[in-house]
Amino acid sequence: MKLMDHVNRSPAKPAVIVEGGQTLSFLELEQQSAQLANLFADIGLQRGDNIAILMTNRCEYFVIAWAAQRSGLYYTPVNWHLTTDEASYIVKDCGARILLADAELTNLACSVHQQTPSLAASYSVGGPIEGFISMTEAISGYPATPRDYEPAGSMMLYSSGTTGLPKGIKRPLPEQDYGAPIRIEPLMAEMWGFTAESSYLCPAPLYHSAPLSWSMGAHKFGCTVVIMQKFDPEAFLAQIERYRISHTQCVPTMFVRLLNLPDPVKSQYDTSSLQAAVHAAAPCPVHIKEQMLDWWGPIIYEFYSGSEWFGTTAINALEWLAHKGSVGKSLQGNVHIIGEDGVELPTGETGLVYFENPQINFQYHNAPEKTQAAMLNDNWATYGDMGYLDSDSYLYLVDRRTDLIISGGVNIYPSEIENALLQHEAVLDAAVIGVAHSEWGEKVVAVVEPAPGYTGDNTLAETLKDFCRRHIAAFKCPRQIEFSNLPRTETGKLQRRKLKVQYATDT
Residues 2, 179: contact at Cβ < 8 Å?
yes
Sign of CA dihedral 188, 190, 196, 198: negative
pLDDT of residue 123 exceeding 70: yes
Residues 47, 72: contact at Cβ < 8 Å?
yes
Residues 223, 192: contact at Cβ < 8 Å?
no
As a whole number of Å, the end-to-end CA separation of the chain is 58
CA distances from 507 to 250, 306, 324, 460, 482 (A): 36, 36, 37, 18, 10
Instruction: Please compute the mean of the pLDDT values over residues 435-448 and round it to a whole number.
Output: 85
Question: In this predicted model, what pLDDT tens digit does every residue of 52-81 receive, in sequence order?
Answer: 999 999 999 999 999 999 999 999 999 998
Question: In this predicted model, what pLDDT tens digit does every residue of 245-259 receive, in sequence order?
Answer: 999 999 888 998 899
Distance of CA 220 to the CA centre of its chain: 20
pLDDT of residue 491 exceeding 80: no
Q: Where are the domains of the chain?
A: 3-180, 252-401, 404-502
pLDDT of residue 498 exceeding 90: no
Provide the pLDDT confidence category of residue 503 given band limits of 50, 70 and 90: confident
pLDDT of residue 125 exceeding 80: yes
pLDDT of residue 160 exceeding 90: no
Q: Identify the CA nearest to 167 among candidates 116, 98, 97, 93.
A: 93
Residues 237, 266: contact at Cβ < 8 Å?
yes
Q: How many residues does the chain have?
A: 507
| Type of residue at 278 | V
Provide the pLDDT confidence category of residue 183 given band limits of 50, 70 and 90: confident
441-450 β-sheet, strand order = 427-437, 441-450, 480-483
Q: Which of 187-196, 453-462, 482-491 comes out lowest in average pLDDT?
A: 482-491
Instruction: Please compute the mean of the pLDDT values over residues 350-359 and round it to a whole number.
Output: 94
Q: Which of 20-24, 149-153, 232-236, 437-441 comes out lowest in average pLDDT?
A: 437-441
Identical fold for domains 252-401 and 404-502, yes or no, is: no
Q: Any residues with CB less than 8 A from the CB of 379 and at least 6 apart, and which?
A: 356, 357, 358, 360
Percent of the chain with pLDDT over 90: 78
Provide the pLDDT confidence category of residue 494 given band limits of 50, 70 and 90: confident
Q: How far apart are CA 399 and CA 421, in angstroms?
A: 16
In the CATH hierarchy, which top-level class contains the domain 404-502? alpha beta
Distance of CA 378 to the CA centre of its chain: 26
Q: Does 3.40.50.12780 match the CATH number of domain 252-401?
A: yes
Q: Which of 23-27, 119-123, 156-160 comes out lowest in average pLDDT?
A: 156-160
How much is the mean pLDDT over the chain? 93
Provide the pLDDT confidence category of residue 165 given band limits of 50, 70 and 90: confident
Q: Which of 31-45, 153-167, 434-448 comes out lowest in average pLDDT?
A: 153-167
Q: Identify the CA nearest to 253 among candidates 467, 391, 132, 422.
A: 422
CA distances from 380 to 311, 330, 335, 357, 373 (A): 10, 14, 9, 6, 11
Instruction: Please compute the mean of the pLDDT values over residues 125-151 and round it to a whole number.
Output: 97
Q: Identify the CA nearest to 77 among candidates 213, 174, 200, 252.
A: 213
Instruction: Please compute the mean of the pLDDT values over residues 134-162 and round it to a whole number.
Output: 91
Q: Any residues with CB less than 8 A from the CB of 224 and at least 6 apart, and which?
A: 13, 14, 15, 16, 17, 199, 200, 218, 243
pLDDT of residue 162 exceeding 50: no
Question: In this predicted model, what pLDDT tens digit does every residue of 385-414 receive, in sequence order?
Answer: 989 999 999 999 987 777 878 787 677 888
- Quick one: 500 exposed, middle or buried, by C-beta within 10 A (0-12, 13-18, 19+)? middle
pLDDT in the model for residue 161: 53
pLDDT of residue 2 exceeding 50: yes
pLDDT in the model for residue 506: 47
Provide the pLDDT confidence category of residue 164 given band limits of 50, 70 and 90: low
Q: Identify the CA nearest to 178 among candidates 156, 151, 146, 155.
A: 151
What is the DSSP code string of 397-439? EEEEGGG-EEETTEEE-HHHHHHHHTTSTTEEEEEEEEEEETT
Sign of CA dihedral 178, 182, 188, 193: positive
Residues 360, 381: contact at Cβ < 8 Å?
yes
CATH pick for 3-180 out of 3.40.50.12780, 3.30.530.20, 3.40.50.720, 3.20.20.70? 3.40.50.12780
Q: How far apart are CA 55 and CA 104, in angstroms?
A: 8
pLDDT in the model for residue 30: 98
What is the DSSP code string of 252-264? HHHHHHHHTS-HH
In this predicted model, which residue has the larger pLDDT, 452 or 403? Answer: 452
